[in-house]
Structure formats: structure tokens, C-alpha cells
């Protein structure tokens, strides 16, 4: 685990600000009840540079607030932007995949970028991500943004997710092998070749997936395409949640699908118990190995925190973080299909 974290920190792909992108790039932005984010989101998109043919396509997914009106006001007069209203959700589809598919089916561009409404970009973020995909001859790349975590609940969970793949998945091998079981992705910022996405029938391949980002990466890899997660900390930030209640609902709707199967879930819970709780229990029982084991885990957390921008002192609360994530995984299975998210039951 510690060795893996060190290796991945040195080998993870890092998008660099380089030459301008000559290819056509379309940014897909489904939004629902995003009044709090629209102004800053549009501003960060307007600042994008380094791509000569860059367009932004919003789809208002039946918002119940003033998202649509606010969006039209903010993009007024800028021909790079367009806004459409989403159609009714068909049977067998979830909201985000359906919104993305509606946009994709109407757009012609060489590269498609999906970005969540709570993401903020540096001016060269999109061009750097597209250049990384082109330079490495990949079909998709997912720059992992820096997660803004302010409340205590956020700080216990958000950095743990970053650490979980950084310390366990051999990223460079995963990229070369193309094994779906090694897929790591974050739908907050996802770049894909249009030709690759079209060849798997677009987002219909993940129409009912609550974990659409990872499932899209798995599907692309399963069909012979290449891709990887990348270090997006210096390109983008994302503030997903602002309270424990939001953390619980957000992960409650999707964690049950994160590990591929019930057996995968058992493995994940066992991993968290062995790395987070068992060493602490061993310490209290007077077993010296427990202290050494916990030290190694915390060092790996510190390495991940340096990469992700997480708070240093929070790494020492790893046993609590692991316990809370186990709770969220179990809650997700219990509440499967019953969680309220953006006014819908997921």
C-alpha cells in the first residue's frame, strides 16, 4: 500500500499546459437545480483558452429552481454557449446518463468533455487534458480534481476516496493492461474521443448506472479502448458537498455500485477494516504490530494528502475515516433505490 502510493505519486499522468488544441472540442454540461453554481461555472468556462474550436452545451434537466433563467442570462451574447431543455426520462435511464446522451446525439466534435456544475477550472484546464489524451494516444482521460472539503464529515470522506485508488491501483499497469477491474475515473471531469464513445453506443451503454463515470471507463476498457485517471489537482477543484447529510445522500446513492459486486463490496469493507480499524484494535490490545501497521497506513495517507491538497492533520484520523466509509457503504446497500438526490429518487 505505501509502496503503491509512492509509485503512483511518481507515475500518475499529469496534464501539462502546452500547445494549442486544433481539434474540435465540445463540453457537455447537464444541470439540474444548480442555481448556486451557474454564475461561477459559466465564468470558469468563459475563461478557457488554448482551443480554437471550443463549444459549451448545457442541458437543463427539468430544474425546479431558476437554473434555466440564470443560465440564459449568464451566457447571453456568447456564441460558444447553447442551452437546451431535456426531454422526459425514458424507462431504464437515470438522469445524468440520459442528459449526456441527449447532448451527445446532437453534437459533432472530435473530443467530448463532461464537467459537473460544481467544478471550477483553471484557464488551460480543458486544453491540457485534451493534449494529454492526444500525446499519450489514449481514448479517454479523467483528470481527478482537488476536492474541496470544509465540514468535518467532508474531510473524513473526500480525501479517503482519493487515497483508496492511489494506494491500491497500479495506475501505469492499469493503463497498459486495459483491464476493466482497474478502472478509475471521476465524472466531475471526463474527456473522451467521440469516435470511442460512439462505438459503444454513447451513454446508452451506461443508461442505468448510478456510478456512471467508473462504469463508462469500464465499458470503454472492456471494448478495447485505452484510458486512465490523471492528476487534475492543478487543473480543477470541486466542492461536492457542504454537510454530512449531503455526503451521506451523495455516496448513499452510488457506493453500492462502486465495487462491481457484493463480493467486491466485501473486499472493500475488509480492506478498510484491515487498514483502518484492526491496527487500532491491535494497539489497544498491546500488540506492537498494530502501531507499525497504522504508521504505514498514515504515511500513505500523508502522501495522498500532499497530492490531493487534503488537510495534513486529518490523515491521523484514518481509523475514523475508514469506519465512516464502511458505514456509508452499508447504508448505500440498505438504501439502494431509495435515496433522494436533486429531487429524484435514485
Three-state secondary structure call for residue 144: strand
Q: How far apart are the C-alpha atoms of 149 and 311, rounded to whole Å? A: 9
Residues 236, 189 contacting (CB under 8 angstroms):
yes
| pLDDT number for residue 44 | 97
pLDDT over 80 at 18, yes or no: no
Three-state secondary structure call for residue 51: strand
Q: Which of the residue ranges 57-61, 153-157, 253-257, 272-276 would you say has the lowest mean pLDDT?
A: 253-257
Q: How far apart are the C-alpha atoms of 40 and 101, rounded to whole Å? A: 25
Domain ranges across the chain = 2-244, 252-345
Task: For 187-220, write each residue's pLDDT tens digit.
Answer: 999 999 999 999 999 999 999 999 999 999 999 9
Read off the pLDDT band of 302 (50, 70, 90): very high
DSSP 117-138: TTEEE-TTHHHHHHHHHHHTT-
Terminal Cα distance for the chain, rounded: 34
Read off the pLDDT band of 185 (50, 70, 90): very high
Read off the pTM: 0.94
pLDDT over 80 at 150, yes or no: yes
Read off the pLDDT band of 134 (50, 70, 90): very high
Any idea of the CA torsion for 307, 139, 113, 214, to the nearest 10 degrees? -60
Read off the pLDDT band of 45 (50, 70, 90): very high
Read off the pLDDT band of 344 (50, 70, 90): confident
| pLDDT number for residue 311 | 94
| pLDDT number for residue 303 | 96
Share of residues in the chain with pLDDT > 70 (%): 100
pLDDT over 90 at 326, yes or no: yes
Task: For 243-297, write each residue's pLDDT tens digit.
Answer: 999 999 999 999 998 887 899 999 999 999 999 999 999 999 999 999 999 999 9
Closest among 224, 230, 138, 221 to 180, alpha carbons compared = 221
Q: Which of the residue ranges 97-106, 183-192, 238-247, 336-345 would you say has the lowest mean pLDDT?
A: 336-345
- Please state, rounded to an integer, the average pLDDT across all residues of the chain: 94
Query: Which residues pair with residue 32 across a beta bridge?
Result: none
pLDDT over 80 at 342, yes or no: no
Other beta carbons less than 10 A from residue 266's beta carbon: 12
| pLDDT number for residue 269 | 96
Average pLDDT over residues 45-51: 97
| pLDDT number for residue 340 | 78
Cell numbers that stand for 279 in this block: 491496527
Q: How far apart are the C-alpha atoms of 8 and 5, rounded to whole Å? A: 5
Average pLDDT over residues 313-328: 97
Which phi and psi angles does 285 have, rounded to 5°?
-85, 0
| pLDDT number for residue 19 | 86
Average pLDDT over residues 127-152: 97
Share of residues in the chain with pLDDT > 90 (%): 91
Q: How deeply is 336 buried, as exposed, middle or buried, from its count of CB atoms within 10 A (0-12, 13-18, 19+)?
A: middle
Q: The domain 2-244 belongs to what CATH superfamily?
A: Spore Coat Polysaccharide Biosynthesis Protein SpsA; Chain A (3.90.550.10)
Amino acid at each position: 500500500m505505501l509502496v503503491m502510493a509512492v509509485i503512483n505519486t511518481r507515475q500518475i499522468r499529469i496534464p501539462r499546459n502546452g500547445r494549442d488544441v486544433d481539434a474540435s472540442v465540445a463540453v457537455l454540461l447537464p444541470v439540474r437545480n444548480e442555481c448556486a453554481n451557474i454564475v461561477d461555472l459559466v465564468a470558469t468556462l468563459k475563461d478557457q483558452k488554448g482551443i480554437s474550436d471550443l463549444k459549451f452545451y448545457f442541458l437543463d434537466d427539468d430544474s425546479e429552481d431558476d437554473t434555466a433563467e440564470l443560465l440564459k442570462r449568464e451566457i447571453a451574447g456568447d456564441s460558444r454557449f447553447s442551452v437546451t431543455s431535456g426531454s422526459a426520462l425514458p424507462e431504464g435511464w437515470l438522469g445524468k446518463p440520459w442528459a449526456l446522451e441527449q447532448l451527445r446525439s446532437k453534437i459533432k466534435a472530435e473530443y467530448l468533455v463532461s464537467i459537473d456544475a460544481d467544478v471550477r477550472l483553471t484557464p488551460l484546464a480543458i486544453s491540457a487534458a485534451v493534449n494529454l489524451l492526444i500525446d499519450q494516444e489514449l481514448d479517454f482521460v479523467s483528470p481527478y480534481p482537488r476536492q474541496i472539503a470544509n465540514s468535518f464529515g467532508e474531510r473524513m470522506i473526500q480525501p479517503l476516496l482519493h487515497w483508496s485508488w492511489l494506494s491500491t491501483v497500479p495506475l501505469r499497469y492499469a493503463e497498459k493492461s486495459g483491464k476493466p477491474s482497474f478502472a478509475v475515473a471521476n465524472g466531475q471531469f471526463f474527456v473522451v474521443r467521440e469516435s470511442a464513445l460512439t462505438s459503444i453506443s454513447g451513454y446508452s451503454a451506461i443508461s442505468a448506472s448510478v456510478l456512471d463515470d467508473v462504469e463508462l471507463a469500464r465499458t470503454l476498457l472492456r471494448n478495447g479502448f485505452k484510458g486512465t485517471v490523471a492528476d487534475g489537482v492543478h487543473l480543477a477543484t470541486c466542492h461536492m458537498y457542504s454537510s454530512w447529510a449531503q455526503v451521506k445522500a451523495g455516496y448513499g446513492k452510488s457506493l453500492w455500485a462502486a465495487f462491481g459486486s457484493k463480493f467486491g463490496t466485501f473486499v472493500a469493507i475488509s480492506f478498510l477494516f484491515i487498514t483502518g480499524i484492526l491496527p487500532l484494535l491491535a494497539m489497544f490490545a498491546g500488540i506492537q504490530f498494530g502501531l507499525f501497521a497504522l504508521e504505514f497506513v498514515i504515511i500513505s495517507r500523508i502522501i495522498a494528502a500532499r497530492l490531493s491538497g487534503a488537510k495534513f492533520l486529518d490523515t491521523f484520523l484514518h481509523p475514523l475515516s475508514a469506519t465512516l466509509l464502511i458505514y456509508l457503504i452499508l447504508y448505500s446497500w440498505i438504501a439502494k433505490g431509495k435515496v433522494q438526490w436533486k429531487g429524484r429518487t435514485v
